[in-house]
Structure 1
């Protein structure tokens, strides 16, 4: 009675003959998916046979609920795919009703957008609609250029300032590497000294005051010790007591500097006479650019250098750069730094102007760059700009824009965007050839990252206004 098999009837004598015994199955599940839902009506049992004695089993009564619409904006779960058959992406479906009749065109556009933007396209940060708008493409390219320059600038800064020795602490030992000074400046002698911390060595410079030099101002020395790491400011690591170096040719404790100087600006000028005028003018502009950056740091702290002399400006080799590249300038004479109240005029403009005129007297031939430097020297004496504005003027003399662009009233924004794009391409070409960027590349990156239309306009007005 509980058997799932349907009851069978034994055919009588008058029953028709079948080749095989007919088999009846429950078609309710199949018909539920094939037949549309209709009003309920009584079901009658019957057979295709004319014999009333043979009847199929009764079909189960099922209530079918028709779904009014397909799921909208929903991605179905993936179904098993036969082996060897590629799976097609599932794009979701929308409700099938009267409101979709006028939306076929928009749906087709969205479908194409989803198919065209693959993973590599999405890395561009643009949608299919942004690609049709030139202003969106230009904005994306400009942002990527700035991002690339910012990354290059940060990597070069880490290379040039990396490996900077920290302050001295107990447990450090010291060794004098040379008994003769490596550099003699106007106010100090520098000796190469090694600081040993377990198995780590740092080559530093012991800064020994020269006999008869001016008494250093304590305020300036305190300011030097409190300044953060700056590429163009001499860094201090502490004092080395006399007991640590009994063989040293000086008496008393002396200061240790993080950078090992190679010469002074005065010595560099004496040896630079054999250079071509164009090369000498370019190297001179790079040195003045670094000097103005160091003086800008002082002016931001309300300080000024009492006397600017080439024999007190040190030059060192930047870390990781070629020996023939431009040197690194270091402002070291903090014993002559004094507090100065803020004022609208530059505290160092007059000194910079006199120094620039003296240096330009060593250039035998006139070049476009020397003409710009002479113009800047005149403006330093007349307008007395700040060190920050002076640095901006030197940047425009080195890397543009020139006076012709200003005289024609050309917009500066497009020039900046093109200049940044060309610098990125230039760095990429050199990197592909195995050439590492140097100090000049880093300074140019710094200029194009900081420059705005307003700042470039002020620099051009200072030079050619």
Structure 2
């Protein structure tokens, strides 16, 4: 039989998104000077003429100050495909990684630099996650607690105190005990006041260090032993502690259980620290920066979920003791009574369901035509007000909005943080809404005030992206060395301040720092 004719050759067409590698393109594994840095989300340096003067651009017209990262799930035109490699990624490498795998990455200085920087970033992310789990507890344990508390009321809880351990603007908090896995846990029973905003929003919020968590709720008559301040029952409690005759009049209330037990509101903290501010201004104002940073991080988390803060005032911000004394507060700060607490936002509403009106008619006029909803604008104003309140300077929102941006009330320069906080307050309370910094930008400014870079970095060298990138890389390495040294000594476990520091150096980029330092130091 004759042989069949040969099959026609099928022409494979290359997709447009995967072009041929040109002479100016590099594979991610190539030992080019900046290949490794690009792979680990550290952008290459820009020429000096591209760095510009971002401070001349209004904050809301500027690009985001957030980190600039390369595409991961999809690739744009002109980007080469990364070659698959049997080598471990930096996230997977450990001290026990086989030398055979390491050897493939040590053929050039650029390869070594990329491995070191990648390992540092991955280690910092793991440390941050572990500290966060220590502060918040594991998600699995919280699910178990929620299941155990489901359907239970006052009968399953032991009352630890008759009077509230904390009273906020919208709720009373009572410490209660709960037996779980052969241990006695202490929770807070949150009894909302009649003015309290709807609490159903909280059940849909993800876990965050600055957001109050609710793990159970029930509706029941308030136990006669508990005293609501200012209520008729408070005056009618019998001295012997016996059950009063008016038990039938005890109100039926909705009760929420939170794993965090507040001991004070921010308003109470500010009221009791006047003398501390005068005697130890540096330590106090650093603590003020850390508290304000927690507020900003919590507000960012809420905005990402289209949720607003009900009433951002010191009376509604809760303070909770951290579970363990952090490394940074076991010395002089602890002796001064300056232990850093967790700050919790506890009142929320859905932005699409409710828009809080502007504070004054002036504010309504100034916000006309602004794309952001009024609730988002109010956050910037309220955080600006918090700065003055924490620093013990009396000011009302209406008066603040009536001032020009350069005529806001003065507060004394007592520490290295004073001028930065004054600058931030001015940017948040600017009379022109388009020139106010956002909550995200305020958070970045507070991080720079706390951990640098300080202005002295630019005394000898011109501020460039290359300088700022080098500063970030060195500080990350020094931070990890600090953790290693502390773990070998008797310093204690890392706590809240260390977690906040990790969050900063885990995410910050030289682009963000350029914008922040322009706004802060010019």
In which range does the TM-score fall when normalised by the shorter chain? 0.5 to 0.7
Q: 1:263 to 1:342 in 2, by over 3 A?
A: farther
Post-superposition CA distance 1:22-68 (Å, at most 9, x none)? xxxxxxxxxxxxxxxxxxxxxxxxxxxxxxxxxxxxxxxxxxxxxxx
Tell me which residue corresponds to 1:371.
Answer: 419
Q: 1:156 to 1:198 in 2, by over 3 A?
A: closer
Post-superposition CA distance 1:264-316 (Å, at most 9, x none)? 11111222234300000100000000000111122223333353211111100
1:439 aligns with 2:496: yes
Structure scoring higher RCO (CA < 8 A, sep ≥ 6) equals 2
1:351 aligns with 2:399: no
Cα distance between partner residues in 2 of 1:453 and 1:459: 10
Give matches, 1:255-266, under 5 Å: 255-266=256-267
Post-superposition CA distance 1:206-227 (Å, at most 9, x none)? 12234xx6x3333xx2221210
Tell me which residue corresponds to 1:381.
Answer: 429
Give matches, 1:249-260, under 5 Å: 249=227, 251-253=251-253, 254-260=255-261
Q: Which runs of 5+ in 1 are unaligned?
A: 1-118
Tell me which residue corresponds to 1:298.
Answer: 302
Aligned partners of 1:346 and 1:387 also within 8 Å: no
Post-superposition CA distance 1:40-97 (Å, at most 9, x none)? xxxxxxxxxxxxxxxxxxxxxxxxxxxxxxxxxxxxxxxxxxxxxxxxxxxxxxxxxx
Aligned length: 341
Aligned partners of 2:310 and 2:347 also within 8 Å: no
> For 1:176, which of 145, 152, 159 is the aligned residue?
159
Tell me which residue corresponds to 1:425.
Answer: 481
Tell me which residue corresponds to 1:146.
Answer: 121
Cα distance between partner residues in 2 of 1:401 and 1:392: 12
Tell me which residue corresponds to 2:68.
Answer: none
Q: 1:342 to 1:154 in 2, by over 3 A?
A: farther
Q: What's the TM-score, normalizing by structure 2?
A: 0.60
SS of residue in 1 equivalent to 2:271: helix
SS of residue in 1 equivalent to 2:301: helix
SS of residue in 1 equivalent to 2:262: coil
Q: 1:124 to 1:314 in 2, by over 3 A?
A: farther
Q: 1:378 to 1:244 in 2, by over 3 A?
A: closer
SS of residue in 2 equivalent to 1:263: strand
Tell me which residue corresponds to 2:344.
Answer: 330
Post-superposition CA distance 1:138-162 (Å, at most 9, x none)? 1111112112212211111111111
Q: 1:273 to 1:249 in 2, by over 3 A?
A: closer
1:190 aligns with 2:173: yes
Tell me which residue corresponds to 1:449.
Answer: 506
Tell me which residue corresponds to 1:20.
Answer: none
1:166 aligns with 2:165: no
Aligned partners of 2:270 and 2:389 also within 8 Å: no
SS of residue in 1 equivalent to 2:174: strand
Cα distance between partner residues in 1 of 2:458 and 2:377: 25
Which structure has the bigger radius of gyration? 1
Q: 1:265 to 1:288 in 2, by over 3 A?
A: same
Residue 349 of structure 1, CA deviation = 0.9
Aligned partners of 1:302 and 1:339 also within 8 Å: no
Cα distance between partner residues in 2 of 1:396 and 1:326: 18
Cα distance between partner residues in 2 of 1:180 and 1:306: 25
Q: 1:342 to 1:438 in 2, by over 3 A?
A: farther
Aligned partners of 2:265 and 2:314 also within 8 Å: yes
Q: What's the TM-score, normalizing by structure 1?
A: 0.66
Cα distance between partner residues in 2 of 1:170 and 1:310: 34
Tell me which residue corresponds to 1:206.
Answer: 189
Tell me which residue corresponds to 1:458.
Answer: 515
Tell me which residue corresponds to 2:324.
Answer: 320
> For 1:217, which of 190, 197, 201 is the aligned residue?
197
Aligned partners of 1:176 and 1:245 also within 8 Å: no
